[in-house]
């Protein structure tokens, strides 16, 4: 099932997650918190946070969500490392210069 987001929901997701409910469901807020943890400089999921996740998701759902976040985050780091701008690059183009060079 797919649900589209309206402008208010997007703003809540990008803003203060402590104030995101009731605009976003508690499960969505927890998924966004997991994204923040996994994309941080030193990703550590504490036992307390794991228990909070389990209030909203099964272990299989946590694994699936974590896997999707890891792929997306890894892809983002890859394109940043090579300075790729996906919306302005096509196969056969010369690789863009690395950022800061």
Q: How many distinct structural domains can be found in the chain?
A: 1
Model confidence, pTM: 0.73
101 domain residue, yes or no: no
43 within some domain: yes
Question: pLDDT tens across 42-88, in order?
Answer: 889 999 999 999 999 999 999 999 999 999 988 888 888 887 776 66
Domain carrying residue 46:
27-86
Sequence-ordered list of residues with C-beta below 8 angstroms from that of 69, at least 6 positions apart, any chain = 34, 35, 38, 39
Residue at 55 is within a domain: yes
- Strand segments, DSSP code E, in 1-101 are none
For the chain, counts of helices (H) and of strands (E): 4, 0
């Amino acid at each position: 099932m797919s649900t589209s987001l309206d402008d208010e929901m997007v703003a809540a997701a990008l803003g203060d997650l402590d104030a995101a409910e009731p605009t976003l469901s508690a499960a969505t807020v927890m998924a966004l918190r997991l994204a923040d943890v996994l994309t941080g400089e030193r990703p550590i999921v504490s036992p307390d946070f794991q228990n909070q996740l389990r209030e909203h998701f099964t272990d299989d759902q946590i694994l699936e969500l974590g896997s999707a976040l890891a792929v997306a985050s890894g892809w983002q780091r890859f394109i940043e490392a090579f300075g790729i701008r996906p919306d302005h690059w096509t196969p056969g183009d010369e690789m863009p210069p690395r950022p800061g060079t």
